[in-house]
Structure 1
């Protein structure tokens, strides 16, 4: 078992997917969703090199140095089921790593190294993604994101509707239309969602049209709170422009709070990967870093 522990939290990890598998406080309360397949078998997958979905799962690459290449990347990317190596461990941190291989280059034709550094400091778990471009001459295009699910409700005897999200700042925004059957978005077809408010009460009806994609938030922190007690869980995502929240509609006792660097393909977008909205690039032999924090109080 891979574990980090201090006076506030005990956090466990798996090399499968390089992900967190448990977050418990000193009262023994489990914050992380435990992957009940009745609702959702995932826990906290890492999304790379895409977040969300591509049209028909197609990624078309048009680097100048070689002919057009088309690959297939499933929803949320290639690494969720890959076995990472635990390459470094200290008293308060763990680092996992994987590299491109014969299988990944068939559909994502770039040489890369992806490292995930988890650190535990006080009541904060920091997840830092490090994407290294192993190519000698080409920029590496990518998206990356987290998909942690959290128990909601946290305590016995509570209901989902007892919980709410509190945004760091007062928000007024619209959200794009989503298509659950394909995972795509229409960024031109938007509906009002938050209007001069910091509080979003949770209900299963929120997710009747699939996940909610926030691409206009001013806040860089959101907190899950209960009306019944003082335990809270926050996500701080300064390095990520988007936040996606998701649950299923079948009374599922969890909510996913997901910082993404990019979004699913929008209907008006092409399938050319290099030209996608908000794509990140890493220069040859360089490393790009992005992090977010989970804060338990």
Structure 2
């Protein structure tokens, strides 16, 4: 694996690996780290890109046009080597194109381009998917970034998530990695959720609809990360019980539903991209100013 590419400005520095086009670190100019470090004692991921599915498929097999293909949880992009297509002081662009290995499990001609961009005190991670084939292409796309919990300078203070839209979106849970039918009452109250590690004893909290396009994570009246989402209607929050990170996961697509269709095109919130078309997905995280 190649050495991660480092980009920076006067406020922030990030590193991005060619493996998965995954951000490896995010720190401010005072050395405070905001991204999870991938400690294998809890979880080796840091900020993986999920493609061509989000979540699991039944028995880890996708059905595409009636034919079954093996597909691990969250797809293959996170374990694939990307090509560094461009880089400046403040941007990187990594690309993953169709290969023999991808065609064996996902029979479409695609280009996945992931860009990391620093602007001011914000980092934007975008993914553009292009259908280079001659037939419609179904896929899911998601981000799975883990941020430290507690945040720097916020130790021993309650952390929470506050939705910009003030909503109370219904909660969905997983069973064996698949979405359970039905919904549960929202843990949000007037858009605010006080985080507790016990919330993740039953795996991720998934909000398929209603969470909106922005949120804040952190301490009321203290350090907070501000997020904005583009073309990402689904939200998940995840941690391992007791782990010092929180994954903020905006998605376009979810795991397959228990008892639902096994066809990729029928999965919830699947994008069906026309031949020659490109779809863009992105999130921006703003790092608080510190003294």
TM-score category by the smaller chain? over 0.9
User: C-alpha separation between the residues in 2 aligned to 1:86 and 1:267?
Assistant: 38
1:282 — aligned with what?
273
Determine if contact 2:211/2:233 at 8 Å carries over to the other structure. no
Correspondence list, 1:25-64, <5 A: 25-62=28-65
User: C-alpha separation between the residues in 1 aligned to 2:232 and 2:61?
Assistant: 24
Alpha-carbon RMSD across the aligned residues, in angstroms, is 1.6
Structure 2: where are the runs of 5+ without partners? none
User: C-alpha separation between the residues in 1 aligned to 2:5 and 2:114?
Assistant: 14
Give 1:172 deviation, angstroms. 2.0
2:144 — aligned with what?
147
Correspondence list, 1:75-94, <5 A: 75-94=73-92
2:13 — aligned with what?
10
> C-alpha deviations, 1:255-296, integer Å up to 9, x for none?
000011011111131101122222112222222211111111
> C-alpha deviations, 1:36-92, integer Å up to 9, x for none?
011111100110000011111111111xxxxx3210110000111111111111232
* Residues 1:32 and 1:204: Cα distance change in structure 2 (over 3 Å): same
User: C-alpha separation between the residues in 2 aligned to 1:89 and 1:238?
Assistant: 23
User: C-alpha separation between the residues in 2 aligned to 1:268 and 1:140?
Assistant: 23
Aligned length: 285
Q: TM-score, normalised by structure 2?
A: 0.93
Determine if contact 1:29/1:154 at 8 Å carries over to the other structure. no
Give 1:157 deviation, angstroms. 7.8
1:130 is paired with a residue whose SS is strand
> C-alpha deviations, 1:221-269, integer Å up to 9, x for none?
1111125x732212211310101000011x1100000011011111131
1:65 — aligned with what?
none
Residue 245, structure 1, aligned to residue 237, structure 2: yes
Residue 254, structure 1, aligned to residue 245, structure 2: yes
1:232 — aligned with what?
224
User: C-alpha separation between the residues in 2 aligned to 1:70 and 1:157?
Assistant: 48
Correspondence list, 1:123-138, <5 A: 123-135=121-133, 137-138=134-135
Determine if contact 2:90/2:117 at 8 Å carries over to the other structure. yes
Q: 1:122 aligns with which of 120, 123, 127?
A: 120
Determine if contact 1:235/1:257 at 8 Å carries over to the other structure. no
Determine if contact 1:171/1:194 at 8 Å carries over to the other structure. no
Determine if contact 1:141/1:281 at 8 Å carries over to the other structure. yes
165-174 vs 38-47, greater mean Cα deviation: 165-174
Q: 1:205 aligns with which of 179, 195, 198?
A: 198
User: C-alpha separation between the residues in 1 aligned to 2:195 and 2:189?
Assistant: 17
User: C-alpha separation between the residues in 2 aligned to 1:260 and 1:116?
Assistant: 15
Determine if contact 2:9/2:89 at 8 Å carries over to the other structure. no
> C-alpha deviations, 1:128-173, integer Å up to 9, x for none?
11111121x20111110100001111237824x6211121122223
Determine if contact 2:127/2:280 at 8 Å carries over to the other structure. yes
Determine if contact 2:57/2:262 at 8 Å carries over to the other structure. yes
User: C-alpha separation between the residues in 1 aligned to 2:92 and 2:256?
Assistant: 33
User: C-alpha separation between the residues in 2 aligned to 1:241 and 1:157?
Assistant: 29
1:216 — aligned with what?
209
